[in-house]
Amino acid sequence: MAAVKGPGAAQKHDGSGLRIAIVHARWNETIIEALIGGAKNAMLASGVKEENIVVESVPGSYELPLAVQRVYAASQIQSTASTVAGGMGNLASGIGDLLGGSNSTTDLQGSLQPGPPEADKKEDKSLKHAFDAVIAIGVLIKGETMHFEYIADAVSHGLMKVQLDSQIPVIFGLLTVLNLGQGLARAGLDGGSGKEATGHNHGEDWGNAAVELGVKKKGWSQGKIAAS
């Protein structure tokens, strides 16, 4: 039977070619950590490689929209830099071929590729393209003042703006809960009581959403819609 409430069964998508960022606030750390764990587990289960999940943190949820925007921009810079570096590598080996492997060739290649000798370098197998999706994670717990309302509103609108302006999927991982128990329950942690007893870890849904949107967005960029 179809699910009455919630996201329903997660669609299956191959996340092995995806690079995904998690940007999280540090307020309410226990809940945050469980949500990050849930998001990561779901992505790993869909084939996203550990080295292609990048995690960045900010003090509180209010900082999330700017951080998501800047982290995505940083990944675009990395992508361009790695393309240029790849080109330089090709240029160096091309010059090496032209010069026929003399000593001067070695010097030239060395100057174009600074750093430790190849054998000493750890192989970095991580993808370098711009992030396919970013998950923003924060936990806002209502207090006695209006702080909660202002932050929740600003962050929700801010994340949507970043998503549309940057044209990348920004997964909304902001819990806006009335008390600690609600927060713990939504991170799959035991801590609530009654209706708030241990619940489903919403981080898993966010990880699945990031993979689905990352894969679909790649397809949409190539003019592919659904099964076409």
Binding site for ligand DLZ (CB under 6 A): 25, 27-28, 59-63, 138-141, 143, 147, 151
d(CA 102, CA 13): 50
Whether 202 is a known active-site residue: answer no
- Among the listed residues 13, 147, 157, 202, the single catalytic one is 147
Cα angle 154, 221, 223 (rounded to 5 degrees) comes to 130
Closer to ligand DLZ at the Cβ: 27 or 172?
27
CB of 150 to ligand DLZ, least distance (A): 9
CB of 28 to ligand DLZ, least distance (A): 6
CB of 68 to ligand DLZ, least distance (A): 14
d(CA 22, CA 158): 16
Closer to ligand DLZ at the Cβ: 18 or 39?
39
CB of 189 to ligand DLZ, least distance (A): 16
Closer to ligand DLZ at the Cβ: 48 or 185?
185
DSSP per-residue codes, the chain: ---SSSS-SPPP---TT--EEEEEE-SSHHHHHHHHHHHHHHHHHTT--GGGEEEEEESSGGGHHHHHHHHHHHHHHHHHHHHHHHHHHHHHHHHHHHHTT-HHHHHHHHHHS-SS-GGGSPP-----SPPSEEEEEEEEE--SSSHHHHHHHHHHHHHHHHHHHHTS-EEEEEEEESSHHHHHHHBT-S---GGGSS--BHHHHHHHHHHHHHHHHHHHHTT--TT-
Phi first, then psi: what are they for 121, rounded to 5°?
Answer: -80, 135
Closer to ligand DLZ at the Cβ: 21 or 127?
21
Chain residue whose CB lies nearest ligand DLZ: 60
The amino acid present at 76, given as its one-letter code, is Q
CB of 212 to ligand DLZ, least distance (A): 26
Closer to ligand DLZ at the Cβ: 147 or 157?
147
Instruction: Tell me the catalytic residues.
Output: 147
